[in-house]
Structure 1
Amino acid sequence: MRAHGRIDRASVKAIESDLQTIQAGYGYGDWNRVGSVFASAPLRAQYVRTLRFWKEDAGGQLRVDLIASQPLGAGRFAVTARFSGDRRSVPSYGLFEFSSGPRGARIVGTISGLHGTNYRNVNWTISRTKHFIVYHSPYQLVGADKTGLADLEYQRAVFARKFGVKLPPRAAYYLYPEQRLIAVWTSRFCGSNPDNVGCTVQGALPPTIHTSEWVSFHEPIHVYQTVMEPPRYTDPLFIAEGMAVALEDKEVDPRQSDYCSEVAYVPLDTCARFAIGNVKLISMLPDTGFDAADPGYAYSLAGSFVKYLILRFGYRPFGKFYYLLAAQPKDRVSDYNVATQRVFHTSIEQLLRDWSNQLCGAGCG
């Protein structure tokens, strides 16, 4: 279902034609064709660079769909476009301002419909579900994309059932129309790195997500972790981020994590096999080592390791391990071993060896 304001059919067709030009240009690797739709040189360069990276990284078939359009006056339109590929991968969105004339339509810029200096005073549109308050642009969560609200609730219910826990009654979800606005409106406590598309403030009331992804199945995991940790303690990043990476899937299934995916779906272990030769695993157990590693390597390896633990031992035993590890005073190897010995009856070193041997059975690097 698409949502359109009072907009004439000819303009809709012109906008759809431009989006199909982007789709066809991606398919053929014709970046001049992709760029021809953009009147703004900086925006043209940004999208050509992004789409080219997607294609060269993993390929896949790109769909560019018109989700919604609203007239702004004087031949200008606010357009919500969805960029999607494999159904297992979270889509990306563009909020564009189109200008339409006798020769067709072109993208002249981006549009958010939002203004403010801090996320607390931005004029958000608000959508609510039983357990989420979602703050977003008036051009987001429109038409078919409203189904994402039900997907959030579904993932929450699946997580609670699989881990056997009672989750926080409410979470705030701030959905930013562009990644760069996360840093601007959070005073850079989140999103300062362009690769950082989200963060979660677990100690806020309610726990608060900041992200430019819709739907993010990663950040809600950090909300749910709050009921799996002792008061005033948090788990080491290697396990906390690994858990969020492994379970960023609607079904909370680590075999379906889309962490490595853009347009094409890439299994998590594929990235881990490439990364494992570039870091010393034991060095990433403390937060200082995890932070020092390349983020792409650190997150994919942590996620693959948590996937291994959950598939080998089960969700609830992993949850017990998570709690016991978070209860330790530090994040040393000896602290990990207290938790692994009690729950899994072996050392963290042995678990890392078992996992890496399984991961690299068919080769790594």
Structure 2
Amino acid sequence: MMRLLELKKFVAGLVLALPVIGAQAETVLQLNNWLPPGHFIFTEVLKPWGDDVAAATQGRVRINITTSSLGPPARQFDMARQGIADITWSTQGYTPGRFLSSEGVELPFLSDSAEALSVAYWRTHKAHFEKLNEYAGVKLLSLHVQPPGELFTIKKPVHSLDDLKDLKIRIVGPVTANLMEQAGGVAVAAPVSQIYELVSSGVVDGTFLTTDSIPHMRMTDQLHHRTTVNGGFYNTSFFLVMNQKSWDKLLPEDQKAIEQLSGEAFAKRVGKIWDEKRAYGEKQFEEHNGQHIQIQGAALENLKAKMDKVRAQWVASITERGVDGDAALKMVQEEVKNYSSQ
């Protein structure tokens, strides 16, 4: 009788303990960060997004951002696919040719707003690019772009394509490489981390870059001429992805909560912040007496004619894979045109 009473007490205590155990259970997802810890993508985008995920899932899912990178930027996608990290963020441009759809939104003259183009990119991906299954092996959380790419030079101002002849310019991807080839200039391929050294030592005459990077990289006293075109010389695409097995282990309600914070919402979020950084960069450039040149008129028409070849090549390539390239680009342009931040 005594043993039976003790058993009942044990079972009752176990039942009472179960809700407490369930309430304390959480899934910790590791997000790999390869940027400096003070970079705004870390402090103003990834960390707040992680905090929002924790709040939306009532603490059941927590994002832990690494303090040092588990691998180089070019390996981020495969790191998520292989489960080295649960979540990664990087640019498709580090693995050229792997994500053909991303090259469509990296074409010139598309938008002066990272927010508008990022949202347009996500919507166009869902409508046209998703069927390519380029992100197989991971859960694609979001896509976005940074502000339009511009040209900065040290000594010689650039008013037209002809002014690039014989100049050594650090390039960003195939679009700017093609532009330098057609202009008769010298294309110098180098990662962002080497720009300051290349510019300060005079190895290059200038670089393609985004304005937000100028004060961040402390080059306001190095680069004196800023050349722009409406919509940018180029754009840069980024992804946010998650290991598929890690995703599949989450509760359906937590998956839904994360999706609501990702996709278009994340694209809008990061695009808006990056546009604000661009505005600050412009202000800093002006305050350091930098010269701003906007290519217009006949020089702009000549540039557009030269870059039509790049556009046509991408359209042909993506069409061969079963996507109407012209329709996809038209959607991007229409979405940007009609975009409202409200």
Normalised by the size of structure 1, how large is the TM-score?
Answer: 0.24
Greater percentage in helix? 2
For normalisation by structure 2, the TM-score amounts to 0.25
The higher relative CO (CA closer than 8 Å, separation ≥ 6) is in: 2
Q: Larger C-alpha radius of gyration, 1 or 2?
A: 2
